[in-house]
Amino acid sequence: MKTLLDKLWARQEIRRRADGTALLWVDRHLVHEGSHHAFAKLAARGLSVAEPGLTFGVADHYAPTQGAPATPAIAGMIAGRAANTERHGIACFGPADPRQGIVHVIGPEQGLPLPGLLIVCGGSHPATHGALGALAFGIGATEVAHVLATQTIWQKKPRSLRLTISGQLAPGVGAKDLALAWIARLGADGARGHAIEYAGDAVRALSVDARMTLCNMSIEGGARFGLIAPDAATFAYLQNRPFAPEGAAWSRAVADWAKLAGDSDAKHDREVTLNAEEVAPIVTWGTSPEDALPITANVPDPARLPPGKAEHARAALDYMGLSAGRPLESIGIDQIFIGSCTNARIEDLRAAAAVLAGRRATVPGLVSPGSRAIKAQAEDEGLDRVFTDAGLTWVGSGCSMCVAMNGDSVGAGRRCASTTNRNFRGRQGRGARTHLMSPAMAAAAAITGHLTDVRPLLRGRHAA
């Protein structure tokens, strides 16, 4: 009677303290430019990396998507990551590597997060890898140093929340809408202290790309990580990936991975259900992912919200420059951004291109593929020409405008329709106003110049 979480945790646990905190073995450690503090800690103590073969460096947060690094400081961050990985014999997908890209995009591309493994990375969104049946979560700088030195990490096992999503998604509605729907319902802290296991017909029908989007957003609802039990779609996705098993080892691995699904009689600490057929295209109006509503709704009135929510809503509307009761579709935008570890995979680009093909954007926008491999594939399929013909800018791969660390940013007071995972104050640049949505919805906003229901624009078209 074990859940998926139970089975994954048991595989990694080395020992457990009296307070319940467990020492876990780490199978893959992903390090980006922000890991320089951890490497400095190792150097100060005269330590080396315990398992360089299980550690992988990436260039994404500060990686330029347009030309050279934006500033000498950014160039220094990139050079520092290269020096640290070279010094310790760590494989690195750097700026000149054809495998370069956003860590939570290239990890799955390379077959690093296999079912049953534990993956950690400094930052917030390693939960993405849980879509492949892996235990994956973000860690802080001190923890990064501990993993580098020991290949282990101390963690307390979270409670289990099974989120069952039934039904079938309507055309124009995708995984991003599902994620924003459940976060709006439960709140930004609604899953705090829990690991989410996504289940149900709607989840099983999602592609692996879409499952990654769903798991990626788990942290925005307070969860420690998100999980989806591996199935035939998982195995098909992973087969022949560079770091996946081969030959007889592949067959043995698949047989093992198939046992990871939770037992039918396993009990979860919480159960939440959602009907996919009731989910419409969703956008955010405030400064938290929980500030989300169907595109057909109006900006909420703080006076009609509970006291705790009302105060947040008033502050959010003031920052966003919005008034209560305003139809969401009437909100004009200044630019769009399609990219990030949430929505920059080939499926995301195809969905946006299906809306934009043969049309012109009325506002500028940046489209940043999640990896060089995706960029090459998109160009082979002609998607880059769809974007550029529409008047948008096609750039290189990296975190780009999601975190505004590499020179790509939204100006103060400007409003951006974005496929990223966070709409916090200043997330995309000081004073920037961010509305989260799916790639198809961002493409629709580019065409009309305001928040727009994508469904009418998809009539008669194939939405990838």
pLDDT digits (tens, 9 = 90+) for 170-182: 999 999 999 999 9
pLDDT tens-place string over residues 209-241? 999 999 999 999 999 999 999 999 999 999 999
| Average pLDDT estimate for 133-137 | 98
Bridging pattern class, strands 28-31 and 55-58 = parallel
156 DSSP β-pair partners? 21
Question: Can you give the pLDDT at residue 311?
Answer: 95
306 & 265 share domain: no
Q: Domain of 57? A: 4-271
Question: Can you give the pLDDT at residue 464?
Answer: 45
Residue 149 lies in a domain: yes
Percent of the chain residues past pLDDT 70, beyond the cut:
99
Residue among 12, 38, 33 at smallest CA distance from 23? 12
Number of structural domains in the chain: 2
Q: Contact, 188 vs 179, CB < 8 A?
A: no
Residue 464 lies in a domain: no
pTM, whole model, 2 decimals? 0.97
Residue 463 lies in a domain: no
Q: Select from 271, 303, 328 the last residue of a domain.
A: 271
21 & 151 share domain: yes
| Average pLDDT estimate for 98-115 | 97
Residue 42 lies in a domain: yes
Q: Contact, 160 vs 262, CB < 8 A?
A: no
243 & 205 share domain: yes
237 & 332 share domain: no
| Average pLDDT of the residues of the chain | 96
pLDDT tens-place string over residues 142-161? 999 999 999 999 999 999 99
pLDDT band at 78 (very low <50, low <70, confident <90, very high): confident
pLDDT tens-place string over residues 308-334? 899 999 999 999 999 999 999 999 999
349 & 212 share domain: no
Query: Does 35 have pLDDT greater than 90?
Result: no
296 & 266 share domain: no
Question: Can you give the pLDDT at residue 402?
Answer: 95
pLDDT band at 269 (very low <50, low <70, confident <90, very high): very high
Q: Select from 221, 246, 271 the last residue of a domain.
A: 271
Residue 209 lies in a domain: yes
219 & 296 share domain: no
Using CA atoms, how far apart are residues 369 and 350, in angstroms rounded to an integer? 11
Query: Does 243 have pLDDT greater than 90?
Result: yes
| Average pLDDT estimate for 49-69 | 94
153 & 199 share domain: yes
| Average pLDDT estimate for 99-115 | 97
221 & 360 share domain: no
| Average pLDDT estimate for 293-303 | 97
41 & 80 share domain: yes
Strands in 152-156's sheet, in edge-to-edge order, are 13-16, 21-25, 152-156
Question: Can you give the pLDDT at residue 462?
Answer: 64
Residue 276 lies in a domain: no
| Average pLDDT estimate for 450-463 | 88
170 & 59 share domain: yes
Question: Can you give the pLDDT at residue 77?
Answer: 84
Question: Can you give the pLDDT at residue 76?
Answer: 86
Percent of the chain residues past pLDDT 90, beyond the cut:
92
Q: Select from 237, 271, 305 the last residue of a domain.
A: 271
200 & 321 share domain: no
Distances (CA, A) of 74 to 59, 70, 81, 324, 388: 11, 7, 11, 40, 28
Residue 134 lies in a domain: yes
Torsion, CA 166, CA 171, CA 177, CA 181, rounded to 10: -50
CATH number at residue 105: 3.30.499.10
Residue 387 lies in a domain: yes
